[in-house]
Amino acid sequence: MPTTTDMTWFKNQFHTNVAAAVAGTPFDLDMLTALASQETGFIWGALSRKGLPTQQILDLCVGDVITGPKRSAFPTSAAALKAWSRGPEMYALARQELKAMAAKVGGYSAYVDNPERFCHAFGIFQYDLQFFRTTPDYFLNRDYADIDKGLKRAVGELRAQQSRIPTLAGKTNLTDLELAAVAIAYNTGRFKPALGLKQGHKNIDGRYYGELFYDYLRKARTIPNPGAAAVAPKPPAGQAPVPPPSPITAAGDVYRVDTLADPLLLRKAAAKTAAVVERLPDGQLVRAFGDPATNGYLRVQTSVKGARIEGYAAVAFLVKEPAATIVPVIAPTLKPPKKGVVAVHAPPRKSGFTVRAENADARSLNEPGQKTRSGASAAQRVAELGAIIDWLDVADPKHRRYAPRDGLTFCNIYAHDFCHLAGIYLPRVWWTGQALVQLGQGKTVEPAVGTTANEIRANELLAWLDDFGPDFGWRRTSSLSVLQAEANQGAVGLVVARRVNSKGPGHIAVAVPETDTMRARRDAAGEVTLPVLSQAGAKNVNRGPPANAWWANAAKFETHAYWLHA
């Protein structure tokens, strides 16, 4: 698996070539870096570390040795290749390339003495020998070892595959998830929306081509392009490289919400009866798309705690701002604050531990043997999150900390425990107003439950995330697909809803990685409608998609949001 150092080498070596090849397409250097990493990164990553010349590395980017009966595409054997026009010539080259590569790359030397074994994938982007029958010169002339010719063919195939995906055909800008869909089609010849990223070649560790490509793309986004800054910051150790907040793409006039008190209801359509997309506070800045108003509503875009939100706003509550005004996009801080308003925890017991088997109080778990998250790769983080879920085992009735009792449920405590073990902060208790004032003045405040800090419920957690979440690494997303995709990379996601009756219980659930047997629900276009959740509540569930989108029940919950943390 190529490291960030290897991927930096790729960018530095080929950024000019890639820029020329992707001009006029939705693809970019990060995508081609991820694609090359997935296809042949294990070759060029190791060879670049050895200091081999770039052209020699390109010459050696061949592989996927023919394995006989398991292969269905042409050629299925040495005899099948030799029987084709110019096949003997190609067979000789494929054997020659295998021997040259095996001399430099570990794991292939055992195949060299077997005349039935020969390479069938060529070039840094792995053009398969099944196309030899239609493009023999590309192989026999070794065009695959020419970076520009290899890029031209790879980008051409990416464009062809994009055009075959109905929801992506003709789009000039693609999200990272959409880029992954194109990469999957590059690998398999098609993309099945219902399967998400779990499709394409399945690796020995159980992860699919789509998942691995997306992991590389996330890493590539944290590596600066030559002469430019990285798209996304590098996360702290043990955390996931989640995408940065989505930028504002609307290009019309900027307006300020002017309601004095009540929030402005941003609606899904230009009608007072349309569903509410977001509640925008007084003073929120929005940018219009430039379309004329319809029925007194203007189509606008804004950013709310990092989530790009679109909808229709009543013109009567919008005030035009100067032309130079920019809609701010809030990015989360990478590390929690060390001074001022800092994280607070209830003081631990002076003796003994806080454990799952007893009724919950304000303290955080400190039970011996509890699981944590510290993995450097997506696969490691996903496995660790799975271990946390299994260890907490919220569905086990012996774990009284989460079991509903006396009309009470403990979704907030479970979400806190999950985040706590994952190494990120979601409060179980939070500072009182007076304590916040003192902290803001630079004073030291000792936590004391009921005096300087109070327990916090799901309703208050939604408010806390709005007020303080970005300072502690949290950011919103408007997409359940993004929420699930990042959980699948070992990040932490939340679905939070506030009760219409503020005295009633809100709800919070953790978005967790999909497994081969536990998948999110997706619509025909592949968008996630019901993510895999882990939660305490009236019914405790270790993992699984809910029966319905409970957070969107307007009669029960006033508002909801999706939050992400690296």
Confidence tier at 138 by pLDDT (50, 70, 90): very high
> What are residue 457's DSSP bridge partners?
none
pTM of the model: 0.92
Of residues 557, 563, 428, 424, the one with CA closest to residue 495? 563
For residue 95, the SS3 value is: helix
Catalogue the E-assigned strands of 249-371. 254-257, 264-267, 276-280, 285-288, 297-304, 307-314, 318-320
> Average pLDDT, stretch 60-72?
83
User: Which burial class, exposed, middle or buried, applies to 406 when counting CB atoms under 10 A from its CB (0-12, 13-18, 19+)?
Assistant: exposed
Query: CA–CA separation, 63 vs 44, rounded Å?
Result: 12
For residues 448 and 434, is the Cβ–Cβ distance under 8 A? no
For residues 339 and 324, is the Cβ–Cβ distance under 8 A? no
What residues contact residue 121 under an 8 Å CB cut-off, 6+ apart? 39, 62, 63, 64, 127, 128, 129
Residue-wise pLDDT tens digits, 268-295:
999 999 999 999 999 999 999 999 999 9
For residue 166, the SS3 value is: coil
What residues contact residue 319 under an 8 Å CB cut-off, 6+ apart? 255, 256, 258
Q: What Å distances lie between residue 444 and 341, 452, 472, CA to CA?
A: 10, 11, 19
Q: Determine what percent of the chain is predicted with pLDDT higher than 90.
A: 95
For residues 351 and 366, is the Cβ–Cβ distance under 8 A? no
Query: CA–CA separation, 192 vs 194, rounded Å?
Result: 6
For residues 491 and 240, is the Cβ–Cβ distance under 8 A? yes
Whether 130 shows a pLDDT value over 70: the answer reads yes
Query: CA–CA separation, 264 vs 314, rounded Å?
Result: 8
> Average pLDDT, stretch 100-121?
93
> Average pLDDT, stretch 70-98?
95
Angle at the Cα of 395 from the Cα atoms of 461 and 459, rounded to 5 degrees? 15
How, if at all, do strands 119-122 and 285-288 pair? unpaired
> Average pLDDT, stretch 462-489?
97
Amino acid letter, residue 543: R
Token pair listed for 96: 């020659």
Structural domains of the chain in order of their starting residue, each with its CATH number: 4-221 (no CATH), 254-320 (2.30.30.40), 378-565 (3.90.1720)
Q: Exposure pattern of 268-298 as b/e (b: 16+ CB <10 Å)? A: eebeeebeebbebeeebbbbbeeeeeeeebb
Element (H, E) at 544: strand 541-544
* CA-based torsion, 424, 428, 433, 437: positive or negative: negative
Query: CA–CA separation, 228 vs 416, rounded Å?
Result: 38
Count of other CB atoms within 10 angstroms of residue 536:
29
Q: Exposure pattern of 88-126 as b/e (b: 16+ CB <10 Å)? A: eebbebbbebbeebbebbeebeebeeeeebbbbbbbbbb
Query: CA–CA separation, 157 vs 190, rounded Å?
Result: 12
Catalogue the E-assigned strands of 415-513. 429-431, 453-455, 474-477, 492-499, 507-511
Whether 68 shows a pLDDT value over 70: the answer reads no
Neighbouring C-alpha atoms within 13 Å toward the C-beta of 454: 10
Least confident among 144-148, 226-230, 542-546: 226-230
Query: CA–CA separation, 215 vs 487, rounded Å?
Result: 12
Q: Determine what percent of the chain is predicted with pLDDT higher than 70.
A: 99
Task: Note the pLDDT of residue 1.
Answer: 85
Token pair listed for 519: 């998948």
For residues 404 and 410, is the Cβ–Cβ distance under 8 A? yes
Q: What is the mean pLDDT of the chain?
A: 96
> Average pLDDT, stretch 186-212?
94
User: Which burial class, exposed, middle or buried, applies to 335 when counting CB atoms under 10 A from its CB (0-12, 13-18, 19+)?
Assistant: exposed
Query: CA–CA separation, 24 vs 14, rounded Å?
Result: 18
Residue at token pair 């497994």: 515
Whether 69 shows a pLDDT value over 70: the answer reads no
Task: Note the pLDDT of residue 261.
Answer: 86
Q: Helix count (H) and strand count (E) of the chain?
A: 14, 20
Of residues 336, 492, 509, the one with CA closest to residue 413? 509
Query: CA–CA separation, 247 vs 264, rounded Å?
Result: 22
| DSSP letters spanning 231-261 | SSPPPPTTS--PPPPPPP---S-EEEE--TT
For residues 98 and 118, is the Cβ–Cβ distance under 8 A? yes
Residue-wise pLDDT tens digits, 247-273:
999 999 999 999 988 999 999 999 999
> Average pLDDT, stretch 334-346?
97
Catalogue the E-assigned strands of 62-146. 62-65, 119-122, 127-128
DSSP state of 524: T
Residue-wise pLDDT tens digits, 347-373:
999 999 999 999 999 999 999 999 999
